[in-house]
Amino acid sequence: MQDRFLIVTSSPHIKSSVTTQRIMLDVLIALAPTLAASVWLFGPRTLFVTGISVACCVFFEFISQKLMKRPSTLYDLSAIVTGTLLAFCLPPSIPLWILPIGAFFAIVVVKQIFGGIGQNFANPAITARIVLFLSFAAYCSDWTSPFAWLGKADAVSSATTLVSSETLPPFTDLLFGMRGGCIGETCAITLILGGIYLLARRIISPIIPLSYIASTVLLCFAFGTDPIRTLFGGGLLLGAIFMATDYSTTPVAPLGKLIFGLGCGVITALIRAFGSFPEGVSFAILIMNILTPIIDRTVKTKPIGDDD
Amino acid sequence: MFNFSERMRGVHLDHRKRSRMNQTVFMPSPATVEISLSQHIGAPCEPLVAVGDSVFVGQKIADSSAFISAPIHSSVSGRVSGITERLGANGRMTRAIVIESDGLDTPDPSIAPPKVNDQASFLEAVRNSGLVGLGGAGFPTHVKLAAKNINTLYINLAECEPYITTDNREVFEFATDIIDGIRTVLKYTGIPKAVIVIERNKPIAAQILSELCADIETVSIKVIGSRYPKGAEKVLVYEAGGPLIGRGKLPADLGVIILNVSTVSYIAKYLRTGMPLVRRRLTVDGDKIKNPGNFSVAVGTSAGALLDFAGIDSSQINMLLAGGVMMGSCLIDLDTPILKNTNALICLERYASRNKTPCIKCGRCIRVCPIKLMPAAIEKAYDRGDVQELKALDVDLCINCGCCSYSCPAKRDLSHKNQLAKELLKNAK
C-alpha cells in the first residue's frame, strides 16, 4: 500500500479564474468613472450618499444572513454593487434617512427573502428605487442643477430634461452629464465607457443594452421625441447598461435576451410618451424582470445534434 | 452576436505544450509490469497464461471472443508472478496480469510482419496487433475499421488538452509512418479519402504533413482553430466540414471514421515489424514540473516508476491524472499501471477548488457548451430528480468535455452533475 494519498475528483481538474467576486469587482470598476463624474457634477455629497447606501446594503446583507442562519456572501461584493446602483438612481439631494429604507427593500425584501444572490426575481436596486419614488415622490424628484455645489448655477431646477417643455442642453453638455438628474444617470460618456469595459471583459452581452436602447429611441422618435433627448435625457443608459444586464433577473438564452431588451424598450417608450410619469426605465425593467422566468421557459437553446 | 449560428463553441485554454520540442525518451522496461485486462472500451480480456508461465515481449497473454475487444500482449519477457485485482480509474475493479521481467526484453520468436493482401486479412492483422484508440478513448481500432460505406477517414491531430504533446511528437518523429498508415487504411478499407485535422497551434506539424502529402490526392490537411474541445470526435468532424453526428449516432452511421494520428501511425509500424502494441508514448508534465517530457513506456509500467524515471519527486504531487486536465481521470495511487490508451500523466500540486458558491445565472455554461446545452438548468433538474425535465434539456447529448465546470464563476461541478444526470436518465428508461 502507498503511504500517501492522492486526491481524486471528477474532471475537469482546472478551472477558469473567473469568480462571482471578480465579476462584481468588474461591475464596480465599470461604475467608478460615473461615480467620479457625479462628484464633479453634483459635489462630494454624491460620494457620501453612495457610501451610506453601500454601507446600509452591506449591513442588511450581513444581518439578514445572520438571522436566517445562511453562510455569509459578503465576499462576493454583490451588496456593494446593489448599494452603488441604488444611490445612482436617486437624486443628489436625497435625504440620507431614505437610504436605509431603500437598502432594506433591496437587500432584505427583494434579495435575501427570495434566497439570496442568484435567486431574486427582480433587480434589488430598481425595485428599491420604485418603492422610494412612489413613497417619497417629492424628495425623489428634486433635481439639483450641475455645478450648483460650486455656486455656479441655480440651486434647484424643477423638471427633468425628459419633459419636452424643458429646453434641451447642448449635445456636448448632455454627453458629459451637465443636466439635472439622478446621481449616476447623467454622465453618458462614463456610462458608455463602463459598458464598453463590461463588454470587453465579457461580463455582459451586448444584446440587451443594444436592443433596449435602439427600440426605445426608435419608438420615442415615432412618438415625436428627439432621439438625443430619449438617449441622454433620462436614465436609459444607466438602466440599459447596468440594470437590465443583471444576470439573475434577465433571460439566459440570446433570443430571450433580445425579447427582454425589446420588451424594456417598448414599455419605456410607452410610459415616457403616454404614462403619467416622465421616466419609465425602472418600471420597464421591473416588469420584464417579472416576465423573465416565462421567457426563460419558452426560449430554450436548441442543442446541436438534437434532431427530434 | 446572437449565437444563432450552429458553431460548436468551447473555451480557450492555456496550451502549456512545453514538452513538444523534447525528443521522446525511451524508458527501459521496469522490473515488474502489471498489465490490466481492461485496456479498451468493450469486454475485458480473459488471461491465456497462468502463474509461473514464461512469456516473451509481444506474446499474447489475454484475449476475448467479444466483438468489441482487443487482445493484450506482454510488454516484457519474464515470468507471470500473479493475477491481481485493482481498483481502476473508472472506479471498477479490474483484473491484471503481473509479470516479473528477466531484464532481457526477449521478443517472441514467432513475431513476423503480418501477411496482408485484402480487407479481411488487414482487419485480422489490426486485431492481432492489439491496437486500440491511442488518443485516450481506447476503442478497438479493428472494430472501427470494419464499418461499411465510409466516405471519409478523419485523422485526429487536434490534441486540444493542455500539456499533452504526444501526438505532436508522433509527427516530429514518425511523420512518414503516419502517411503510410493512412494510405494503408485507405487501400484495404476502400475509403476514398482522408483528412488530417490539425489545430492551428501546431504549425510545424501541419507544415511537415502538408509537404509529405502534397502529391497524394487522397489525403488532405485541414487546419482548425485551437479551442478546447476541438479534439472531441463530434466537434472535430463538424469543424472539419463533415456531417453532424447527432443523437445516438456513431460516426460510421454517417460515413465517417475518426482515428487518432498515433493510432494510424502504429498501423504502419505493425505491418512493418509485426510487434504488437506493448509500448506507447505519453507526456509527463504538470503545474510544478520543471522537466516535462515524452516517454516511450512499456504498457503495465506503474505511474510511480515512470515518475521516478522522469526525475519527478512524487511527494510534491497532490493529484495525478491519467489523461489531460480537462477530461483525464484521477489515479488512486502511484502503483496504477499505464494502459494502452494512457496518453499522459499530469501531476498537479494545485488542483481546482471545490468550494462552490450560489449560481448567479450568468449563462457562461451555456455560452461555452459545444452542444449548446444548459448545464445550470440540468444541475437544478438533477438535484430535484426531475427525469422529465432532464430529458427535455437533452442531457444525453453531453460529451463530458468539462467546459461548463471550467468556466463557471460559482465553481459549481456542472459537468459532474451532467454525468450523474445521464446515468439517472439511462436508468429511468
Sorted by where each starts, the structural domains of chain B and their CATH numbers stand as 16-28+113-351 (3.40.50.11540), 364-428 (no CATH)
**Least CB-CB distance to A305: which of B4, B162, B245?**
B245
Question: According to the model, what pLDDT value does residue A299 have?
Answer: 87
Architecture of domain A21-297: Orthogonal Bundle (1.10)
Residue B269 to chain A, least CA–CA distance (Å): 33
Question: According to the model, what pLDDT value does residue A152 have?
Answer: 67
Is B372–A302 a contact, with Cβ atoms under 8 angstroms apart? yes
Is A9–B351 a contact, with Cβ atoms under 8 angstroms apart? yes
Where helices occur in chain A by DSSP H, the ranges are: 20-42, 45-67, 78-88, 98-103, 124-135, 137-140, 171-175, 188-200, 207-222, 227-232, 236-238, 254-274, 281-298
What proportion of chain A, given as a percentage, has pLDDT over 90?
74
Question: According to the model, what pLDDT value does residue A96 have?
Answer: 96
Question: According to the model, what pLDDT value does residue A1 have?
Answer: 42
Buried b (16+ CB within 10 A) or exposed e, A103-131: bbbbbbbbbbeeebbbebebbbbbbbbbb
Residue of chain B whose Cα is closest to the Cα of A71:
B357
B-interface mutation test, from A5, A15, A117, A307, most B Cβ less than 10 A away: A15
Residue A218 to chain B, least CA–CA distance (Å): 21
* 3-class secondary-structure state, position A222: helix
Residue B320 to chain A, least CA–CA distance (Å): 7
Q: What is the ipTM of this complex?
A: 0.91
Strand partners, B258: B154
**Least CB-CB distance to A20: which of B332, B409, B415?**
B409
Residue listed under C-alpha cell 459578503: A74
Domain spans of chain A, in order of start: 21-297
Q: Which residues in chain B touch residue A206, judged by CB atoms under 8 angstroms apart? A: 1
Residue type, B140: P
Q: Which residues in chain A touch residue B326, judged by CB atoms under 8 angstroms apart? A: 11-14
Contact criterion met (CB below 8 Å) for A3 and B325: no
Strand partners, B87: B93
Residue A275 to chain B, least CA–CA distance (Å): 32
Residue B179 to chain A, least CA–CA distance (Å): 32
Is B363–A247 a contact, with Cβ atoms under 8 angstroms apart? yes
Question: According to the model, what pLDDT value does residue B1 have?
Answer: 37
Contact criterion met (CB below 8 Å) for B79 and B56: no
Confidence of residue A159 (pLDDT cuts 50, 70, 90): low
Question: According to the model, what pLDDT value does residue B382 have?
Answer: 97
Is A6–B348 a contact, with Cβ atoms under 8 angstroms apart? no
Residue of chain A whose Cα is closest to the Cα of B367:
A253
Q: Which residues of A touch B (CB under 8 A)?
A: 1-2, 4-16, 18-20, 22-23, 73, 76, 116-119, 205-207, 247-248, 252-255, 258, 300-308
Residue type, B390: L
Confidence of residue A308 (pLDDT cuts 50, 70, 90): low
Question: According to the model, what pLDDT value does residue A167 have?
Answer: 77
Q: Which residues in chain A touch residue B353, judged by CB atoms under 8 angstroms apart? A: 15
Q: Which residues in chain B touch residue A5, judged by CB atoms under 8 angstroms apart? A: 333
Size of interface A-B (CB pairs under 8 A): 162
| CA distances to A153, A179, A180, A239, A274 from A159, in Å | 15, 11, 8, 20, 17
Q: How would you class B208 by CB atoms within 10 Å of its CB: exposed for 0-12, middle for 13-18, buried for 19 or more? A: middle
Total-model pTM: 0.92
Q: What is d(CA B140, CA B156) in angstroms, rounded to the nearest whole number?
A: 16
Residue A295 to chain B, least CA–CA distance (Å): 14
B-interface mutation test, from A11, A199, A245, A257, most B Cβ less than 10 A away: A11
Q: What is d(CA B198, CA B180) in angstroms, rounded to the nearest whole number?
A: 18
Residue A76 to chain B, least CA–CA distance (Å): 9
Closest CA to A184 of A88, A52, A40, A58: A88
Q: What tens digit of pLDDT does each residue of A86-125 get?
A: 999 999 999 999 999 999 999 999 999 999 999 999 999 9
Question: According to the model, what pLDDT value does residue A277 have?
Answer: 85
Q: What is d(CA A228, CA A171) in angstroms, rounded to the nearest whole number?
A: 8
Cell for B84? 491481481
Question: According to the model, what pLDDT value does residue A155 have?
Answer: 52
Per-residue pLDDT of chain B (429 residues; tens, 9 = 90+): 344 456 788 999 999 999 999 999 999 999 999 999 999 988 999 999 999 999 999 999 999 999 999 999 999 999 999 999 988 766 678 999 999 999 999 999 999 999 999 999 999 999 999 999 999 889 999 999 999 999 999 999 999 999 999 999 999 999 999 999 999 999 999 999 999 999 999 999 999 999 999 999 999 999 999 999 999 999 999 999 999 999 989 999 999 999 999 999 999 999 999 999 999 999 999 998 999 999 999 999 999 999 999 999 988 899 999 999 999 999 988 999 999 999 999 999 887 777 899 999 999 999 999 999 999 999 999 999 999 999 999 999 999 999 999 999 999 999 999 999 999 999 987
Q: Which residue has the higher pLDDT, A108 or A137?
A: A108
Question: According to the model, what pLDDT value does residue A68 have?
Answer: 94
Is A13–B348 a contact, with Cβ atoms under 8 angstroms apart? yes
Report whether pLDDT(A2) > 80. no
